[in-house]
Amino acid sequence: MDSIRILGGNQLRGQIKISGSKNSSLPIMISSLLTDQELVLDNIPNLTDIETLVLILKDLGADINYSIPKRKSSLSTTSDRIMHIKFKNIISNQANYEHLSKMRAGFLVIGPLLARTGYAKVSMPGGCAIGTRPVDMHLMGLKKLGADIKIEKGYVIAEAKNGLVGNKIHLSKPSVGATQNLIMAASLAKGESIILNASIEPETMDLIACIRKMGVDIDVHGDNVQIQGTINIKGASYEIMSDRIEAGTYAIAGCMTGGRIELTNFDPHLLESPFEILRNIGCSIKLFNRRIVIEKVVKDFEPAKITTEPYPGFPTDLQAQFMALLTQASGKSIINERIFENRFMHVQELVRMGAKINLDGDKATIIGKTELIGAPVMATDLRASVSLVLAALSAKGETIINRVYHLDRGFEDLEKKILNCGGIIERIQENKYEVI
């Protein structure tokens, strides 16, 4: 298995083009199941999660091709390609464990597949180990739309012989995945559906914008989503939003190493809550149109209190990265994790690098400032892995990060982007250890 070696201590200075959002791309690719016409998607990132989903969709009958746009620049990323997906026919109604064990978002095929064909057999999902992550709300919502649901040998079997029928669905939590799944299913259901207490995360709004372009009438009032189902769903062209988690991560990398990073291809309004914290602890953030310049402007960061919440609150997907940053703040910082019950797997690894962090249930107390020292580390999930990259970039000496496949799932061109800004980072292929 590959690993990544980082020699810490260099300031990160330069420009980084933010890639397309992984968490937007996945449901939007899946929405191609709603029509037999072509969906043309721009700004899809080049990530292993995307490749896994391509395999899942191909198994179901998708024809997927790429074209290259004529806009290459020196800052272009490998995602500078356009994806064409077409489900002329559905050739299988089953999504297998082999792929779904690697990526939870694949489970979202169940809603549109059921809505289009009346039957779907989908493996219970895997993905990052950050909690039990049930799918009860997905299934409750599909039942409300008229589906019969059975669970057999790790698979969910959903059936609606006479098609789905619109209904009112009240989610007990604003689950991102359940909202997206049910919006897709309701788009092909007969009549109107309303999802109450829905996720209004930017990635859900991106999915809604794409499905609207495909011809479905969807209104959002506060956290209620109203969908007028139709059988006339057509193809569309759509540009995926940029990745707010990637942008937030590189913003921290610039600040944490005392450098200066310019983020391009990104709408700063998507990160208001994390940027407010960065400003409060001592960073300057200058906002331009789809461009942000960010740098540390104090000698030592101030501590902070952070609670993860649904959008527009602080995103759980930036919690681990902020924890790495707050090890460099003078004083006591507190992070409350309110979305996932097991999302502190990075703490032990940060502690091995010299951080002082105490855990008490869903609360982490970070005592700073502590000097971070490079070490061999590994992480069990995507965002935790990148928090170790941040810690390593500002640590003294060399850090080896194992289980790189987590990073490859969610961060496009990670090494290239960091190298371009002056960081020292390299991938070590298995069995190839040499000194930097």
**Among all residues, which ones are annotated catalytic?**
128
Token pair listed for 24? 């937007």
- Closest-by-Cβ residue to ligand UD1 is 177
**What's the angle, vertex CA 406, arms to CA 402 and CA 412, rounded to 5?**
115
Please say which residue, 125 or 235, places its beta carbon nearer to ligand UD1: 125
339 is in an annotated binding site: yes
For ligand UD1, the closer CB: 118 or 126: 126
- Least Å distance, CB 138 to ligand UD1, is 5
Residue 104, annotated ligand binder? Answer: yes
Q: How far is the CB of 56 from ligand UD1 (least distance, A)?
A: 13
Q: Closer to ligand UD1 at the Cβ: 83 or 339?
A: 339
**At closest approach, how far in Å is the CB of 113 from ligand UD1?**
17
DSSP assignment of 37-89: SEEEEES----HHHHHHHHHHHHHT-EEEEE--S---TT--TT-SEEEEE-SS
Query: Which residue in 214, 182, 193 sits closest to 32, CA to CA?
Result: 214
Q: Which is nearer to ligand UD1, 99 or 138 (CB)?
A: 138
Within a 10 A sphere around the Cβ of 137, how many other Cβ atoms? 21
Least separation in angstroms between residue 369's CB and ligand UD1 is 28
Q: How far apart, in whole angstroms, are the C-alpha atoms of residue 274 and residue 297?
A: 17
Following CA atoms 89, 95, 100, 103 in sequence, which dihedral angle do they give, to the nearest 10 degrees?
Answer: 20
What does the DSSP assignment read for 91-129?
---EE-HHHHTT-GGGGGGHHHHHHHHSEEEEEPP----
Identify any residues that bridge with 291 across adjacent strands, giving them in sequence order. 264, 288
5 forms beta bridges with: 400, 426
* 99/133 with CB nearer ligand UD1: 133
Encoding tokens for residue 327?
């090890």
Q: Confirm whether residue 22 is marked as ligand binding.
A: yes
343 marked as binding residue: no
Q: How far is the CB of 158 from ligand UD1 (least distance, A)?
A: 14
With H, G, I as helix, E, B as strand and everything else as coil, classify residue 326.
helix
Q: How far is the CB of 249 from ligand UD1 (least distance, A)?
A: 13
**Is 23 labelled a binding residue?**
yes
Question: Using alpha carbons only, how large is the chain's radius of gyration in Å?
Answer: 22
Measure the CA angle with vertex 309, ends 110 and 179; round to 5°.
Answer: 20
Residues forming contacts to ligand UD1 in the complex (CB under 6 A) are: 23, 26, 104-105, 131, 133-138, 173, 175-178, 203, 316-317, 339-340
Please say which residue, 28 or 366, places its beta carbon nearer to ligand UD1: 28
Q: Which residues are annotated as a binding site for phosphoenolpyruvate?
A: 22-23
Q: Which residues are annotated as a binding site?
A: 22-23, 104, 317, 339
Q: Which residues are annotated as a binding site for UDP-N-acetyl-alpha-D-glucosamine?
A: 104, 317, 339
